[in-house]
Amino acid sequence: MKWVYRLERRLGRDFGIPNLMIYITSTMLAVYILGYFFMPSIIGFLSLSWRAVLQGQVWRLITFLVLPPTWGNILLLFIALYVTYHLGNTLEMEWGTTLFTIYFLLGAVGAILAAILTGYGTNYYLYLSLFLAYAYLYPNATFMLFFLIPIKAKWLAAFNWALYFLAFAFGSMTDRAAIVFSLLNFFSFFGPDVFRTIKQNYQAYKRRREFRRNWKNNPW
């Protein structure tokens, strides 16, 4: 994250919008109410279609960010909005407004780049990236799955990483491009640390394997 800290010093610690997630989640709720009760077609008007952007509907480059995570049960919506707010607000308190804004903007840029390649963009991976960052920083934080089963953030993150891997391994080139760009912000922030940890774990595994082999051949 060295380059991110350098950018933060250049921009200052007050770059961005403080408490950004309260504005995002509040607007999501307003869009849900508007779409559910008054304008069911609003999702088609706000979603990120690259063809529509090229036709001049440039507002889609921003409005796709405030599409609700679900259009179903309103209770599920409130839960999703609360979790989204909690994740983003925790990251902002951990990093400060500038770093959180950079992370969010990189995720939005990734979604737009994916839309350029695939024709359509979604905010799903952007808000999932908030959880991945949260789980990386707070791996032992506990979530209540189905309100009954306590599960640590690191295991939920591992499950999501497995889904990413399967989609990348067996999906089309378009799917792979979307996955890569959707993780732009996460790897921009945590990539060096992640790869360093993987390398260290692999080296430790090799040492243990070599030790066991030597012990088996020469137990005394």
Per-residue pLDDT, averaged over 61-68, amounts to 93
Q: What is the pTM of this model?
A: 0.82
pLDDT digits (tens, 9 = 90+) for 97-108: 899 999 999 999
> Sorting pLDDT into bands at 50, 70 and 90, what band is 185?
confident
3-state secondary structure the chain: CHHHHHHHHHHCCCCCCCCHHHHHHHHHHHHHHHHHHHCCCHHHHHCEEHHHHHCCCCCHHHHHHHCCCCCCCHHHHHHHHHHHHHHHHHHHHHHCHHHHHHHHHHHHHHHHHHHHHHCEECCHHHHHHHHHHHHHHCCCCEEEECCCEEEEHHHHHHHHHHHHHHHHHHCCHHHHHHHHHHCHHHHHHHHHHHHHHHHHHHHHHHHHHHHHHHHHHCCC
pLDDT digits (tens, 9 = 90+) for 124-167: 888 989 999 999 999 888 887 766 788 898 888 898 888 888 87
